[in-house]
Structure 1
Amino acid sequence: MDYDSIEALCHAAEQAGTTISELVLADQAAQIETPAETLYTRMADSLHVMQQAVAAGKSPTLRSTSGLTGGDAAKMAAYAKTGGLQGTFLCGAMTRAIAVSEYNAAMGKIVAAPTAGSCGILPGTVLTVLEERGLDERIAVMALFTAGAIGMVIADRASISGAQGGCQAECGSAAAMAAAALVEMAGGTPIQAAHACAMAIKNQLGLICDPVAGLVEIPCIKRNVSGIAIAFTSADMALAGVESKIPVDEVVDAMRRVGDALPCSLKETSQGGLATTPTGLRLKKEVFGE
Structure 2
Amino acid sequence: MFAKNGVEMLSICKRENLSIWEYTLKCEIEETGNSEEKIIYKMKRNLDVMKESSEYALKNNVKSISGLIGGDAKKLYEYSKGNNSLTGSFMVMAMARAISCSEVNATMGRIVAAPTAGSCGILPAVVISAGEKLNKDDNDLINALFTAAGVGNLIAQNASLSGAEGGCQAECGSAAAMGAAAVVEMMGGTPEMALDAAAIVIKNILGLVCDPIAGLVEVPCAKRNIAGAVSALTTADLVMSGVKSVIPFDDAVLAMHKVGKQLPCELKETALGGLAATPTGVKLKNLILGTFK
TM-score after normalising by structure 2? 0.96
Give the Cα separation in 2 of the matches to 1:12 and 1:82.
47
For the pair 1:16 / 2:20, whether they are aligned, the reply is: no
1:115-154 matches, cutoff 5 A: 115-154=116-155
- Which residue of structure 2 aligns with residue 67 of structure 1? 67
Give the Cα separation in 1 of the matches to 2:206 and 2:40.
33
Deviant stretches of 4+, over 6 Å: none
Give the Cα separation in 2 of the matches to 1:268 and 1:96.
24
For the pair 1:42 / 2:28, whether they are aligned, the reply is: no
- Contact residue 176 and residue 201 of structure 1 kept, 8 A: yes
Letter of the 1:177 partner, please give it: M
- Which residue of structure 2 aligns with residue 166 of structure 1? 167
- Contact residue 3 and residue 156 of structure 1 kept, 8 A: no
- Contact residue 177 and residue 197 of structure 2 kept, 8 A: yes
Give the Cα separation in 1 of the matches to 2:184 and 2:171.
20
- Which residue of structure 1 aligns with residue 56 of structure 2? 56
Give the Cα separation in 2 of the matches to 1:86 and 1:218.
24
- Which residue of structure 2 aligns with residue 266 of structure 1? 267
- Which residue of structure 2 aligns with residue 104 of structure 1? 105
Question: How far 1:131 sits from its partner (Å)?
Answer: 2.2
Letter of the 1:168 partner, please give it: Q
Aligned residues: 290
- Contact residue 81 and residue 89 of structure 2 kept, 8 A: yes
Q: What SS is found at the alignment partner of 1:117?
A: coil
The alignment-based identity, stated in percent, is: 49
Deviations 1:186-238 (A, max 9, x none): 01000000100100100000000000000000000000111011111221121
- Contact residue 11 and residue 191 of structure 1 kept, 8 A: no
Point out where structure 1 has 5 or more consecutive residues left out of the alignment.
none
For the pair 1:232 / 2:222, whether they are aligned, the reply is: no
Point out where structure 2 has 5 or more consecutive residues left out of the alignment.
none
- Which residue of structure 2 aligns with residue 31 of structure 1? 31
Question: How far 1:7 sits from its partner (Å)?
Answer: 2.5
- Segment drifting more, 213-222 vs 233-242: 233-242
- Contact residue 62 and residue 70 of structure 2 kept, 8 A: yes
- Segment drifting more, 57-66 vs 278-287: 57-66
TM-score after normalising by structure 1? 0.97
Give the Cα separation in 2 of the matches to 1:3 and 1:76.
40
Q: What SS is found at the alignment partner of 1:116?
A: coil
1:247-286 matches, cutoff 5 A: 247-286=248-287
Letter of the 2:229 partner, please give it: I
Letter of the 1:20 partner, please give it: I
- Which residue of structure 2 aligns with residue 209 of structure 1? 210
Letter of the 1:53 partner, please give it: S
The alignment yields a C-alpha RMSD, in angstroms, of: 1.1
Letter of the 1:70 partner, please give it: G
Give the Cα separation in 2 of the matches to 1:250 and 1:171.
18
- Contact residue 125 and residue 182 of structure 1 kept, 8 A: yes
Letter of the 1:40 partner, please give it: I
Question: How far 1:149 sits from its partner (Å)?
Answer: 1.1
Give the Cα separation in 2 of the matches to 1:213 and 1:279.
11
Question: How far 1:60 sits from its partner (Å)?
Answer: 4.3
- Contact residue 11 and residue 190 of structure 1 kept, 8 A: no
